[in-house]
Structure 1
Amino acid sequence: MRTKSFLAATMLAAALLAAPAPATAAVSTADLALRWAPIHYQDVDATGSHALGGKSDHISAVDFDGDLNGRNNWDNTGSAPLAAHAYYSVVETSTHWYITYLFFHPRDWIDHPFFETEHENDGEGVLLAIERDGSTYGVLRGAVTVAHSDFYSYAPAGSTWGSGRESVDGTL
């Protein structure tokens, strides 16, 4: 008899633990990503033998050519549609949300010699640090963006974040 009541209590405890938490008014990660999404302006360079009339500068889905084979993207850039896509990730702590946006280019090409190396599968983006201040979407504290091997940090006017080990390169 004692085993049955222990088993019943264990099953009840397991059911309570597995029950979904009550709905809250917390913002979803998709809503956060949409709220803070950057407006993306893309410079399109139509010059150079690998520019494809500017198409090589378009951002696209990773599988723009219908497969996930990254070794054929250079060749497929000219023949597949390049609909613009952006990827995001939201990571949270008790004090901040960190939202990363990634923009994918099937080609990273150059029209000038001696500066960089052309390659397939280029990803560039921005990381936003959003302080959880009790409001629905928080407050933007800083952003870091990357282009190739260069990182650039920005803070909004009036931000409490400033230069330290990393310099702030501009104002948002």
Structure 2
Amino acid sequence: MRRFIRTVMIAVLLAGAGDAALAQTPSLAEAETAYRQGDVGKAIAIARAAAEQSDPQAQALLAFYLYTKVPSEPAEAIAWWKRAAAQGDAEAQFMLATQYLYGLAIPADYSAAYTWALIASQSARLSESARNEVLKLMAEIRVRLTPDAIKAAQEAALGFRAKPER
């Protein structure tokens, strides 16, 4: 349970790094307002409409809503985080890293966790506090990997190229 709470708290911190972008996207700002007012269904509907248009920020936000709502929909959340992460969304990359580390909604895979954390750490959109959280996560993962696994994850991260869906 503590890991789930930590994951959610860090996601909120990372989401804060994108607040300026949210303000520029009226539909996502409306989704956030609805979510904060407790209208999760409306927030999900708004975020889903934008996510289905291949907006990676909307995909990451939708995943967060689906993961944190009651009842949670972790499988669908993971699918949306994967789509957003592939397009370069740092929040989604971080959330995949935490999911792979802790095995919360998908099987634990420390190499995948480290790869996604490395990729997220390179994002120019991260605030200093969010980057520090990513670096802490990387340190937590690194102690669980062999030197060969670390090298393979670093090579995979170096080869990552965001691919827009559109």
Q: Which has the higher contact order (CA 8 A, sep 6+)?
A: 2
TM-score w.r.t. the length of structure 2 is 0.30
Give the number of the structure whose residues are more often strand, by fraction: 1
Question: If you compute each CA radius of gyration, which structure gives the higher value, 1 or 2?
Answer: 1
